[in-house]
Structure 1
């Protein structure tokens, strides 16, 4: 699977970062997502040159060449291989990819669902995960279920009865130190069987709406909502969109969701957490 690599677009690159030609066998870490993998090949796709890294469990992800990588713990710039290199940047045809950036399999048949599950807070979270990672989740046999909030996460996990063959990955909004959500997550991991079979991760944003990059909507930043104001209504008002009631909120979300086409439209804080949960549920150990 693929994660965004926002660090490679910055113009504030230190001059002492060495340039390293892309070559098969390099073990690199993506600074934005923390993904570590061996460089398998370089290819041209969607008008850009990317390299394919293979990480744990054989999972692959593609990244554009450039800055934002670590080689043996040190920052490097990955450049195109030389003409004599074993990896040609001018690959004749790039493989088809899913919205998450992973290579699409030869068949689209869904795997029989695992007992393990991904839980998200609400319907909007589930729809966003489905839009970007749906093909990958069907291939892995993972079902995403909305909880309708996490206030009773402890009880829900207890009823689920997690175990080695029945694991849970929980994606939480606003999971920051000291928040209500972080306290609920800590309590949830004390449920019998949860310690090694439940993973609770989250992004720092108030709501999943904010994991969509502002630039995708043609704005510089998300509107700031005053304390005490309904957050989603305030966001829609700040965007200049209809915001009179629940119908406008539903339509506003569909408009936001329609703006998302691939993983590159989402913030790295969300990308890394979804990939972490999928790895947790599919990679042994």
Structure 2
């Protein structure tokens, strides 16, 4: 025999023994509800924080306080205010573009972007990585523009395999400008685009303010730009490991396109457009 009082005289919950707790149901527009007290049945036409308005099949409307005392499909419910979910704002990538819903990486294209060095590639990946994966664009580094001509001979570009090439220090009279002009005039120039920024090294394409600096230091001619920069800033610069740590410090200050100079931003966007355009 079921003893609803139990054997423990101090046990809690005896008043609710055998009762089922009613579900809390939001008063959404169109939901059909029956009022337990008098049997009035209608669909929700309006609800606020305290009341709900129902309209029956004859067009009669009545308002009731929210709370218990309602039936939905024969089950007792507690009617609560409906709180619409705010629409999600579209997400932006680090480059500032809108990210597609559940965007997955695309199969790599034959066309690709080439940059001079590892640091260039890492910076492009950090800011444009999501965009590049969505477009299926691979970024490769050359270890210097001097190697570009040989690379083009080994893997020549074509109408379906175009190369977008980002060059440091692309200013009139520079070595980089001369090499770029020769290659553009050559037999591979039709299916590639060479653009660049004016800085000697990609380090200087990061806004100094993002690192708490007023400006990047001026490095004397004949001094390696990375070594000279570290020395001027008081950072260790004696070994390759020192320079690698300096770069990690710079790269960690980059959170989005806002931390980069416009002279780099526009050029990378131009290259992405070039290699993703329909042949």
Q: What TM bracket, shorter-length normalisation?
A: 0.5 to 0.7
Partner of 2:126: 131
Q: CA RMSD in A?
A: 1.4
How far the C-alpha of 1:158 sits from its partner, in A, is 2.4
- Of residues 79, 95, 107 in structure 1, which corresponds to 2:102? 107
Cα displacement (A) at 1:229: 1.5
Report the Cα distance in structure 2 between the residues aligned to 1:245 and 1:257, rounded to whole angstroms. 19
Q: 1:229 aligns with which of 220, 223, 232?
A: 223
- After TM superposition, which residue ranges in structure 1, 4 or more long, deviate above 6 angstroms? none
1:85-104 alpha-carbon deviations (Å, 9 max, x no partner): xxxxxx96531111001111
Note if 1:188 corresponds to 2:171: no
- Structure 2 distance, partners of 1:189, 1:260, is 32
* Matching residue of 1:30: none
Please name the residue that 2:157 is paired with: 162
Deviations 1:97-121 (CA, angstroms, capped at 9, x unpaired): 1100111111232100000010000
2:246 matched to which residue of 1?
252
Residue 185 of structure 2: SS of its match in structure 1?
coil
Pairwise CA distance, 1:268:
0.3
Residue pair 1:154, 1:191 contacting (<8 A) in 2 also: no
Aligned residue for 2:139? 144
Q: Following the alignment from structure 1 to structure 2, what is the Cα–Cα distance between the partners of residues 93 and 174? A: 42
The number of residue pairs the alignment matches comes to 194
CA contact (8 A) 2:196 2:267 kept: yes
Q: Secondary structure at the match of 1:152?
A: helix
Distance 1:283 1:154 in 2: 24
| 1:120 lines up with 2:115 in the alignment | yes
- C-alpha separation in 1, matches of 2:87 and 2:107: 35
- 1:201 corresponds in structure 2 to 195
> Residue by residue, what CA displacement relative to the aligned partner does 1:3-42 show, whole Å, maximum 9, x if unpaired?
xxxxxxxxxxxxxxxxxxxxxxxxxxxxxxxxxxxxxxxx
Q: String of CA shifts for 1:117-166, please: whole Å, max 9, x gaps.
A: 10000000000000000000000000000100011322212222111110
Q: Which moved more, 1:239-248 or 1:134-143?
A: 239-248
In the TM superposition, residue 200 of structure 1 has moved relative to its aligned partner by 0.2
Q: Quote the offset at 1:172 in angstroms.
A: 0.2
Q: Provide the secondary structure at the position in 2 that maps to 1:278.
A: helix
CA distance in 2, matches of 1:193, 1:165: 13
**Which structure has the higher relative contact order (CA within 8 Å, separation 6+)?**
1
| TM-score normalised by length of structure 2 | 0.67
1:274 aligns with 2:277: no
Structure of greater Rg: 2
Q: Residue 94 of structure 1: SS of its match in structure 2?
A: coil
